[in-house]
Amino acid sequence: MTYILYTNGVLEEDGFYLPTDELNPDYLAYLAWIAQGNQPEIRPGAEYLAKLESERLNRQQLRTEYQNTLATLQQIEDTQSPTNAQVIAAVKFLAKTLRLLLKLIVKFLV
């Protein structure tokens, strides 16, 4: 028998979930297996996986905002005389992108 340890319980190799409950005979069998010197495979819990997915989506959003900003700036650069609305839109895009970039930098530095 092999087990996979999550932050909120244990999964048997057959897919049966064991909550951390010392009144559960299957969980007691798992503890006896550990007492024999065995080690479960360790995997992160759902909270950790959700956090990773959130960070991935934040990076994706940042890339999208960055690409939009570059496109807007390129449009202004290509225009002989940009309108005030185009300049304001570019500055807003740039400010938003910089704000997201700074949040990302701070998150990785802390």
Residue 24 has pLDDT above 80, yes or no: yes
Cβ contact 18:12 at 8 Å: yes
What pLDDT does residue 35 have? 94
What pLDDT does residue 91 have? 83
pLDDT digit string, tens, across residues 31-79: 999 999 998 887 766 666 666 667 777 778 877 877 887 787 787 778 7
* Integer Cα distance of 18 and 42 in angstroms: 14
Sign of the CA dihedral running 19, 20, 26, 31: positive
* Integer Cα distance of 108 and 110 in angstroms: 6
Domain boundaries, the chain: 3-42, 48-109
pLDDT digit string, tens, across residues 76-99: 778 777 788 878 887 887 888 888
